[in-house]
Structure 1
Amino acid sequence: MVLILTVLEIVAPVGLLGAIGYLWVKTGHEYRMEFITRLSMTLSVPALIFTALMKTELEPAALTAVTLAAIVAYGALTLILWGVVKGLGLDRRTYLAPLIFGNTGNVGLPLAMFAFGEAGLGYAVVIFAVMMVWSFTFGIWLVSGGGSPWRIVREPAMGATMLGALFLWQGWHTPVWLTNSLTLLGQIAIPMMLITLGVAVARLTPGRLGRAVWLSLMRAVLTVAVAVAVGRFFALDQVAFAVLVVQISTPVAVTSYMLAEKYGADADAVAGLVIASTLLAIITLPLTLGFLI
């Protein structure tokens, strides 16, 4: 009973803020997705990443292990899912990227923070950064049939990641007034991302939902299995291991739908994956957290 209450305390804020965004749109209120997304990805998320890395008290060796584990986990998922998509005869441009990349920002960061505190958030930010690099290089190349791998360099979140890593490595800190300002700016990132996730789901039009459901079930099992195997291989500590499993197994990212829409893949099919995996996560994520806590 205590475990159930603990898991509900972790998951409830995520679900509640997502529901607020969903209901906000469904009741006819305006929500300027482009403005909020740009504000979040240009200012608040970079501030959150930078301050989380700068203030983290985790050992550099532990962060290195998590980084390597995340790289190996995403590499393994890419190879396995490439074979699955090819074996099932699915369109690679449409299905491969969404199956690989989870919602490590909107869902993973809040869950890591609520479940494992500042230490968990530090690990989650590192895994989020690894996912971003792979998503904005290989992911865009995959969906678009081309694209420049240098696009990632122009992303503010990646600049914040590299700068935060430098400060962490050197033990530097910004002046208190600047740290407080950046921390305050970063604090709006998580609620904004969760509300925006609800808005995005409310606006999606699912396509071929039957296929999306069984693909999401397959993905849920596979991502947890890969994350557990990689975490055990690298002998991660308890918190790092738990965060790796949660981050890798988050539902399909809404950005996958946006990229499919932008580059001419089957956006309707990707929307179905987003909705199916997000609804499935209402069951799978609490079960996963219950196993990890």
Structure 2
Amino acid sequence: MQLTIGISACLLGQKVRYDGGHKASEFCLSRLQPFVRYHAVCPENAIGLGTPRPPIRLLKKDHGDIHLVQVKDASQDHTQAMLDYTAQVLPTMEQLSGFVVCAKSPSCGMERVRLFNEQGHQLGKAGVGLFTRELMHKYPWLPVEEDGRLHDAELRESFITRIFACHDYQQLCRDGFSVGGLVAFHSRYKFLVMAHSPTAYRQLGRLVAQAKLFDAKELQQRYLLELMQALKQPCSRKTHANVLQHLQGFFKKHLTAKERQELSSLIDRFRLGHLPLMAPLTLLQHHLSRFEHPYLAAQTYLQPYPEALGLRG
């Protein structure tokens, strides 16, 4: 099945915003679109708010509850309508592999949405859009990102890595989840997880080793959640270099002393910040083309997403 991600409809150029406009995302519409299928959602339209429409905002009641109300008339409260909508639609989104939401939106914003009190004073950028809050609560493992944050190269690569890993895992589950299948999956993701978090790699390894102690459904959900949490942690040059040195070890019996020194030098220069990741990685892949190694060739670390996305430096 094609990788499918949810997306705020305005990010696809649909004119569904309160002012009749849109917030088309260049990255989503051009670079990412050839590799995914979009499931577009506008929660505000879905609950019957027209376009254009009076703007709405998040209101924190004196007793602490967050409400979705009209800016100029707080008695126009859309909270229950939004909660009813999410209760109806979110169960149909279980097979999504990620979600791109519109930043700052009182319905879709993932973080730092303006929050107001009943006296009309701003409490800071501390809110989460009501739809996205319910989405992340329902699917805590789901990769969710805002359009604005996708301009950051590190955050963009993290999100793309997670949606492709999530889709891969969902394929495993659709084909029939088993302990053997999980072991094979974990084996392919070993070095990718290690690059993001050596600690998480060890934790996931223990979980897989103890797989038979868990109910299959619990194991299936727990592994996915821990995998997504691991891949959300940023890689560093140090963790990448650690993985690259592990990969280099697979060739120690095949390379000449000069070739080993060349590869070691590239890894060190990358670790010190003098070279991009693709320098040592390209040489490793060159050696892999010379010397067959099925286990290494299967590692998702070498290509966690389509190369054509051009995200690795």
Same fold (TM over 0.5): no
TM-score bucket (shorter structure): under 0.3
TM-score (norm 2): 0.23
TM-score (norm 1): 0.25
Task: Name the structure, 1 or 2, with higher relative contact order (CA <8 Å, separation 6+).
Answer: 1
The structure that is strand-richer by fraction is: 2
Query: Which structure is larger by alpha-carbon Rg, 1 or 2?
Result: 2
